[in-house]
Structure formats: structure tokens, C-alpha cells
Copies of this chain bind each other. A is one copy, B any other.
Amino acid sequence: MARVLNFNPGPAALPLSALERAQNELIDFQGTGMSVMEHSHRGKDFEAVHNAAIASMRELLGISDDYHVLFLQGGASQQFAVVPMNLLPQGRSADYILTGAWGKKAYDEAKNVGTVRVAATVEENKTYVRVPAQSELKLDPEAAYVHLTSNETIHGVQFHNYPDTGKVPLVADMSSDFMWRKFDVSRFGLIYAGAQKNIGPSGITVVIVRKDLVDGARKDIPKIFRYGTHAENNSLYNTPPTFGIYLIRNVMDWIKQSGGLGQIEAWNREKAALVYACLDELSGFYRAPVKAPARSVMNIVFRLPTEELEAKFIADAKKAGMVGLKGHRSVGGIRVSSYNAMTVDGIRQLVSFMKDFAKTNG
């Protein structure tokens, strides 16, 4: 059948050209007589792909030489443990800012590693609809780092300005917030992101980390979990997920061919604006819980008057070729994940459907 409009929250839609490129050479990569996933991770053919993926990411985001760019395994969920294993020495504490379920999970896991504090939480009535103001943060000036989740995929809450943490390194889970636009990497000590939202398939976690933090990180942990191990080996200490890295390379090339992150950002902002405008226009029918200043450009969540109507919305959308719109099982409702691979035209079709649905069922 024709490709559907895929609003999955991750694993998510990938750019068709990146997939077609993979399909065309899946059996014979660049005339080598084997698939890229059959190549040795230490051979020159794969190494060129690996280094191109890293170089493109550095170029597109403007990442300075003060940072390592690592491709790791285990997902953001593994980083919830690995960040404090590396950066939280015994006798010190780290601060966590909670704006949704993922930040809470990161905090809970860090407790299994060391001493952590909640520097701020905006949880109210068991949900999250905003980010804290700078004045609400109870930051420990001696903290080893401050952790936040820059975009909460489940709650649709996004930081559009990052807090000032003074000299304390800012660590961000950017899984659903990564590479949909250029941003100032130098504001962060460490950024991690699962690839399966904006840049690739599941199975790879990008870690961008300041070199001095790696140098000063704990060494009394298993070697495989030390950032230094992977930094020293250009993420080839052990066998990486080669096919996933290859697909990231393809997506990086697609971003460049599309005009770079400036163009990608413009599309993403246009898409989000279209959906939020529809929600505001039809606010008697659709209810967007997140406060305007924290509305996510990536994950747009809303409710309908009843759960029955939400179920009908999802079913009717599916008939119209639009899938992946169901909100996370923990919160319900509707979620529009609008990552890089979703086109402006796709969002226009969704908005048209939303208007028709409200008219028919409102």
C-alpha cells in the first residue's frame, strides 16, 4: 500500500529518501558485494560511514572541538544510570528538574547510583503542563550537574529557554528534541538522545559530552560504561550497531540536501503552528493542556470531550491513512508526534481531518 502518515512517537517515521537509499543498496553496499551490515566495523568502508555520520552531526549542529560525539547503545534509559555513574562522585549530589514522566524516570534511576535532589518539579494533579521559571529552581551551587529533559515526549512539555545553572554543568535528555533545529551546544555539559525520533532507527544513543567532564569522570566503574572508553576509541571500543549508524548517516545527508537545520526548523515550527492554531481555534472541542510557553514543537498532546470520541478520532484517522496518534498509555488522549520526517503537507492533511472531525462530532 501507499506510505501512511506516521505520527508514531518513536520509533518514528524516517525520511523516505534515507530509507530508499538503504533499500537500494541493502544487498550490495557501494559495489562491495555485501550489505553495509555485513561489513566489519573496523573496515574502511564502514569506518567512512561512521565518520561521515559524526562529521555531519558536528557540522550541522556546529559542535566545537571541546565536545566528544559518541554513538552508544542501551537507549536514553541506560544513560539515566550511566550519567550519574560517570559524573556523580561519592559525597556529592546532582540536581534534577522534573517536567514530565521521563525526567522522573531519570531521577528515580539516578537514585540507584548516588545522591540526587529535586531542584524543581512542576507536577500538579499528577500531570505536567509547564516548565519552571528560573526563580522556581532551588539549585545547589555545589551540585555535580543539573539534569533536565528538554522535551517530555509523553506530556508534550518543552523547554524553549534553558535555565541558568551558573558553573554547574547542564545535562539534558534530548531524545525527542534532538536535531530538529540548530541550538547552542555550548550551553550543555552533556546531551544524550535516543536516535529513534528525529535521526534514525532505535538502538543508538547519541551522547555529546564536554571533554573536560569525561577527563574528570569516575574511573571506578566498569570500563564499558566509562565515557572515556568510547571517546578514546571513536565509539568503536566494541562492535557498534553498524546499520543504525549507517541510517543516521543517510538522515544527516537528507538534512543537508533539504537545506540544513535552518530549513528543517522552519518546517517543524510551521507544522507545530498549524496544529496549535487548529487546537486554539476549536478550543471548544479540543483541549490542549500544556501552557502556551511550554508547548512542544515535537509532541503535541490534546484531549477530546470524551474518551469515546478520542477512540473514534484514532479509528477515523487510521481509515484516513494517519497512524500513531494515540496518546501514551499512561496519560491517554491524542498525541501528534511531528518529527523531522513528517512533512508540512502531512500536517495539513491532519489539520484538515481535525477540522472535519470536530465539525461532524462537535
| Contact A38/B13 with A73-B74, A113-B222 known, Cβ cut-off 8 Å | yes
Cβ of A20: which chain B residues have Cβ within 8 Å of it?
A: 27
A161 lies within 8 A of chain B by Cβ = no
Query: Bound complex: CA of A1 vs CA of B78, how far in Å?
Result: 40
Quick check: which of A58-66, A138-146, A239-247 contacts chain B, the rest being far away?
Answer: A239-247
Contact of A194 among B23, B74, B112, B239 (CB under 8 A): B239
Contact of A241 among B32, B202, B323 (CB under 8 A): B202
Query: Bound complex: CA of A285 vs CA of B306, how far in Å?
Result: 80
Interface residues on A, range: 35 or more
Determine whether the beta carbon of B11 is less than 8 Å from that of A109.
Answer: no
A201 lies within 8 A of chain B by Cβ = yes
Quick check: which of A2-10, A127-135, A165-173, A206-214 contacts chain B, the rest being far away?
Answer: A2-10
**CB contact list, A13-40 vs B, under 8 A:** 13-14, 16, 19-20, 22-23, 26-28, 31-35, 37-40
Q: Which one of A112, A221, A241 has the highest number of Cβ atoms from chain B below 10 Å of its Cβ?
A: A241
Contact of A78 among B35, B75, B224, B244 (CB under 8 A): B224
A237 lies within 8 A of chain B by Cβ = yes
Determine whether the beta carbon of B241 is less than 8 Å from that of A109.
Answer: no
Closest to A85 in B: B222
A92 lies within 8 A of chain B by Cβ = no
Determine whether the beta carbon of B12 is less than 8 Å from that of A16.
Answer: no
**CB contact list, A178-236 vs B, under 8 A:** 194, 196, 201-204, 220-225
- CB of A202, distance to nearest CB on chain B (Å): 5
- Given A8-B43, A11-B40, A73-B73, 10 new contacts (CB under 8 A): A1-B32, A4-B34, A6-B38, A11-B41, A14-B35, A73-B75, A81-B222, A81-B225, A112-B220, A243-B243
16 CB-based A-B contacts, threshold 8 Å: A3-B27, A6-B34, A8-B38, A8-B39, A16-B27, A19-B26, A19-B27, A20-B27, A34-B323, A40-B324, A77-B237, A80-B222, A201-B243, A203-B240, A241-B244, A243-B244
